[in-house]
C-alpha cells in the first residue's frame, strides 16, 4: 500500500490543529488506559490499519496487557474490562457508528453511571479526535508502521 497524499505537508496548519486537539484530549479527565482502548476500538470499527497499529503499540508501551488488547474486539463477552471501561467502549461505539436514531438512552445511562458529566464530555472529544484521525488516515491510505521510529513506537517491541 502506498500513501495517497502527505496530508501533513498539504495542510500543515490543520494538521497542527488536530494534533493540538489530540494533546488536549490526552490531558483531559479520561485516564490514559481508557484513551488507549477508545483509540483502538474506534480504529477497529473504522478499519484504520494505521491507527490500530499505532495505538496498540502505544497501549503496550503504556503497560496494557496483551490479552486485553486481543479481547477488545469482543469486549462485551470478555470479563477483562471494568464497568467504567465498558461504558467508555459503549459510548465510543455509539458515537463512531451513529445510528439514525442517535445515541440510545440505554447507552447514555450506562455511561452516566460510570463517568461524570465532565468525563463524558472529555470522552466525547476523545472519540471525535480518533474518528478524525481515522478518516484522514483511511482516506489517504497511511501505511501502518510508517512513522514508528519518528513517534518512538519502535520501542514497543512489536515489529
> Please, which pLDDT band fits residue 148 given cuts at 50, 70 and 90?
confident
Does the pLDDT value for residue 1 go beyond 90?
no
The whole-number pLDDT of residue 88 equals 98
Q: Where are the alpha helices (DSSP H) in 11-146?
A: 12-26, 32-46, 49-61, 66-71, 83-96, 105-112, 117-139
**pLDDT one-digit tens code per residue, 6-50:** 999 999 999 999 999 999 999 999 999 999 999 999 999 999 999
Residue 145 φ/ψ region, left for φ over 0, alpha for ψ in the -120 to 50 degree band, beta for the rest:
left
Residue 65 dihedral angles phi and psi, to the nearest 5° = -75, 135
In the chain, the domains with their CATH numbers are 30-152 (1.20.1290.10)
> Please, which pLDDT band fits residue 51 given cuts at 50, 70 and 90?
very high
Positive or negative: CA dihedral 42, 48, 52, 54? negative
The whole-number pLDDT of residue 157 equals 84
The answer to whether 88 and 34 have CB atoms below 8 angstroms apart is yes
Mean pLDDT of 106-122: 98
> Please, which pLDDT band fits residue 104 given cuts at 50, 70 and 90?
very high
C-alpha separations of 106 from 99, 119, 139 in Å: 14, 18, 33
> Please, which pLDDT band fits residue 158 given cuts at 50, 70 and 90?
confident
**pLDDT one-digit tens code per residue, 58-92:** 999 999 999 999 999 999 999 999 999 999 999 99
Of 98, 1, 88, residue with least CA distance to 40:
88
The whole-number pLDDT of residue 3 equals 93
DSSP reduced 3-state for 152:
coil
Amino acid at each position: 500500500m502506498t500513501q495517497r497524499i502527505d496530508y501533513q505537508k498539504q495542510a500543515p496548519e490543520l494538521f497542527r490543529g488536530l494534533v493540538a486537539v489530540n494533546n488536549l484530549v490526552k490531558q483531559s479527565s479520561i485516564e490514559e488506559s481508557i484513551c488507549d482502548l477508545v483509540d483502538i476500538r474506534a480504529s477497529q470499527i473504522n478499519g484504520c490499519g494505521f491507527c490500530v497499529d499505532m495505538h496498540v503499540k502505544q497501549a503496550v508501551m503504556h503497560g496494557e496487557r496483551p490479552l486485553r488488547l486481543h479481547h477488545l474486539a469482543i469486549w462485551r463477552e470478555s470479563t477483562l474490562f471494568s464497568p467504567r471501561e465498558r461504558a467508555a467502549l459503549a459510548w465510543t461505539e455509539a458515537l463512531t457508528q451513529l445510528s439514525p436514531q442517535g445515541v440510545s438512552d440505554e447507552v447514555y445511562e450506562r455511561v452516566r453511571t460510570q463517568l461524570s458529566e465532565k468525563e463524558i464530555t472529555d470522552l466525547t472529544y476523545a472519540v471525535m479526535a480518533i474518528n478524525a484521525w481515522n478518516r484522514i488516515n483511511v482516506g489517504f491510505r497511511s501505511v501502518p508502521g510508517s512513522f514508528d521510529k519518528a513517534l518512538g513506537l519502535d520501542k514497543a517491541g512489536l515489529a
